[in-house]
Amino acid sequence: MGFEPNARRRLRLVAAATKDPVLAYELVGALEEDTMSQVPSVDLARAIARCPHCRSSQASTSSREGLCEVHRARWNLEACVSSDAEREAMAEPHLESLLRRALSSEDGGTQFLAAYERQARALDAVWEAHRRGAVQLPQAVADKVEQARTTPPRFLRGATFDTIRAR
pLDDT at 62: 63
Q: How far apart are the first and last CA of the chain?
A: 38
pLDDT at 83: 55
pLDDT at 129: 92
**Residue type, position 118, single letter:** R
CB 103 within 8 A of CB 72: no
pLDDT at 22: 80
pLDDT at 155: 66
Q: In the chain, what are the helix, strand and coil shares in percent, each to the nearest 5?
A: 65, 0, 35
pLDDT at 128: 92
pLDDT at 157: 62
DSSP class of residue 63 equals B
Q: How far apart are CA 68 and CA 53, in angstroms?
A: 6
Residues of the chain under the 70 pLDDT cut: 1-3, 32-39, 56-62, 81-95, 154-167
Name the average pLDDT for the chain: 74
Query: Cα–Cα–Cα angle for 57, 58, 62, nearest 5°?
Result: 120
**Domain parsing of the chain, residue ranges:** 1-33, 36-104, 106-167
Strands (E), the chain: none
DSSP class of residue 81 equals -
pLDDT at 92: 61
Q: Determine how many CB atoms are found less than 10 A away from the CB of residue 146.
A: 18
User: Residue 140: enclosing H or E segment and its boundaries?
Assistant: helix 139-150
Against a cut of 0.95, is the pTM above it? no
